[in-house]
Structure 1
Amino acid sequence: MDILRLINSFIRVVETGSIAAAARAQGMSAAAVSQSISRLETHLGVRLLSRTTRSMALTESGARYFEKVRHIPRDIDLASQAATVATQPQGRLCIATTAAFGRHVLAPLMPGFSAAYPRIDVELISTDRRVDHRLEGIDVSIRIQAQLNDHMITRHIASRPFVFCASPDYLQRAGVPSTPEDLKHHACLVFRYPTDGRFLPWHFVRDGQRFEARVNPGFVCDDIDMLAQIAVNGGGIARLASFVAQPWIDSGRLLPLFEPSARQAAHAQSEPMDIYACVSERSALNTKVRAFIDFLEQAMQNQADAGPGIGR
């Protein structure tokens, strides 16, 4: 009997609140998880969960048992890390990333990471929603500053410019804004966070002062690449990360706005996108995670040193 596997299933059921959710988190069927709980109860000779067709709750014995075993998976993982600290990083590494960053920056870099660390098996989760590292088995996530929370351990790995841009057709039709204050007269393509419905604000810095530009939302979307396509096809002004905008600018399909000019003594500059690697707790910074974060930080620094282009 693999008692550790049974215990892990029990912990996941308690943490996720249902057998179905625990099954999804473990990549198992609900029947297999239910059988694991039954086998563990038979092994212990006590009922751990009180289950009906509509609800599930810990029994008194189950609550006591959960408090004793809840740290076992983490302790085993830490022990494995200690035993293999001198060896090459290995095993499964689950990385969650924002959709646009994953598509335009992370995906092109992953073959190089796999070549450097062939014993690490990578799983990528591309989403702009809020993720739960522990419940979803995520080792590290890549987030921008606006998506951080106080419960995460973060490391700043890179900054990338935001680029305000529009198609030549749109600018010929609607005119070229000369200052951020002009944006309220234009169709602005606004990104909405899927997690809480907020708009991503359009922040600028002028003479050391930070301010938010008033915008007139022409289109609202929760996918940056869709907003880029709308901009390319004349739909309005978009605020895009440089790694999304640069290929379109290089092709002439989009034109950058608010570029520095000798005639503008008080130029307004867009705030950059700050990018962070996040883990749920310091003990999660194992050799696999550290190897990935170090690799990504160095790769993005190399891109920045190389000058404008994809991923920069």
Structure 2
Amino acid sequence: MDILGLINTFIRVVENGSIAAAARAQGMSPAAVSQSITRLEAHLGVRLLSRTTRSMALTESGIRYFEKVRHIPREIDLASQAATVATEPQGPLCIATTAAFGRHVLAPLMPAFKQAYPRVDIELICTDRRVDHRLEGVDVSLRIDAQLNDQLIARRIASRPFVFCASPAYLDRAGIPTTHQDLKQHACLVFRYPTDGRFLPWAFVLDGKRIEAKVNPGFVCDDIDMMAQIAVNGGGIARLASFVAQPLIDDGRLLPLFDSGRRNVTHAEPEPMHIYACVSERSALNAKVCAFIDFVEGALRTEADPWPTGASQQRKAAAPRKTRTSH
């Protein structure tokens, strides 16, 4: 009897909330998962799950058993890593990233990472929705401030400027804003974050203090590249990460606002985008995850960037948040 396999199936059922969901996660049939639970219960001589056709719940014995065995798969994985510590990083690596960062920054880096670590098998999840590391098998995610939560350990690996920009046609028609206060008089292209439905604020830093500009939403969108195309075609002013905006500025389709060459009279600077490498727990920092984080951090550090990068730049998380910067 494969006790470890039965335990792993039991853990998946509890973490996914149902036998059907656990079956999908493991690529098994619901009947096979149910039989595995039955065999484990028979082996232990106790009921672990109270199951009906409509619901499932842990029994008291199931609760106690789950607390004792939930860490076994991770400990086995760590033991395997320790046994092969002298070898190069290898095995499956699931990476989650925001859509725009994944498309414009991470995707071009991946072939070089694969060439450097050919024994690492890469899976990419490119989405702006909330990703659960444990339930979705994510080893490491690259996130911005708005995506961080109390269940993650985060290390800042880079910062990139946000660029306020608009098309020449729009600025000819509506005029050029000279201060962040002027933005409320313009059509603003606002990004609605899909995790919670709120607008991402348009923030500036003035004399060391953070200021949120008042905006007049001309368009609301949940896709950065669509927003950039609306701006290119005269829809209004967009706030785009530099890696999205710069190619469009270089070919003249967008013009930057509030940049250092034309500093506005208030000396307010657009707040930058901070990028974090996140894991669910410190034990997840295995060889392949560390190799990936170091690779991406090194690649971003070599790019021209006026903002500080690196592990020494710590995120100031307000207590009692569990999200924190690792070293």
The interval holding the TM-score normalised by the smaller chain is over 0.9
- Which residue in 2 is equivalent to 1:91? 91
Does residue 64 (structure 1) correspond to residue 64 (structure 2)? The answer is: yes
The SS at the match of 1:300 is helix
The SS at the match of 1:87 is coil
Correspondence 1:1-312 to 2 at 5 A: 1-261=1-261, 266-304=266-304
Q: Is the contact made by 2:164 and 2:238 (CA closer than 8 Å) also made in structure 1?
A: yes
Q: What is the letter of the counterpart of residue 288 of structure 1?
A: K
Q: Percent identity?
A: 81
Please state how far the C-alpha of 1:303 moved relative to its aligned partner: 2.2
Q: Which of structure 1's runs of 4+ aligned residues deviate more than 6 A? A: none
Q: Is the contact made by 2:179 and 2:266 (CA closer than 8 Å) also made in structure 1?
A: no
Q: Is the contact made by 2:179 and 2:264 (CA closer than 8 Å) also made in structure 1?
A: no
Q: Is the contact made by 2:193 and 2:199 (CA closer than 8 Å) also made in structure 1?
A: yes
Cα separation, 1, equivalents of 2:202 and 2:72: 46
Q: Is the contact made by 1:261 and 1:267 (CA closer than 8 Å) also made in structure 2?
A: no
Deviations, residues 210-255 of structure 1 (Å, cap 9, x unaligned) = 2111100011111111111111111110000001111111121111
Please state how far the C-alpha of 1:46 moved relative to its aligned partner: 3.7
Deviations, residues 53-82 of structure 1 (Å, cap 9, x unaligned) = 101122343333323321210110111121
- Which residue in 2 is equivalent to 1:310? none
For the structure 1 residues 213 and 25, does the alpha-carbon distance in structure 2 shift closer, same or farther, using more than 3 Å as the test? same
RMSD: 2.0
Please state how far the C-alpha of 1:259 moved relative to its aligned partner: 2.2
Please state how far the C-alpha of 1:265 moved relative to its aligned partner: 5.5
The SS at the match of 1:149 is coil
Q: Is the contact made by 2:145 and 2:275 (CA closer than 8 Å) also made in structure 1?
A: yes
Structure 1 stretch displaced more, 180-189 or 35-44: 35-44
For the structure 1 residues 254 and 13, does the alpha-carbon distance in structure 2 shift closer, same or farther, using more than 3 Å as the test? same
For the structure 1 residues 177 and 262, does the alpha-carbon distance in structure 2 shift closer, same or farther, using more than 3 Å as the test? closer
5+ residue gaps, structure 1:
307-312
Structure 1 stretch displaced more, 148-157 or 134-143: 148-157
Cα separation, 2, equivalents of 1:94 and 1:87: 20
Q: What is the letter of the counterpart of residue 163 of structure 1?
A: V
The SS at the match of 2:248 is helix
For the structure 1 residues 305 and 183, does the alpha-carbon distance in structure 2 shift closer, same or farther, using more than 3 Å as the test? closer
Cα separation, 1, equivalents of 2:221 and 2:34: 40
Q: What is the letter of the counterpart of residue 66 of structure 2?
A: F
Cα separation, 2, equivalents of 1:243 and 1:292: 20
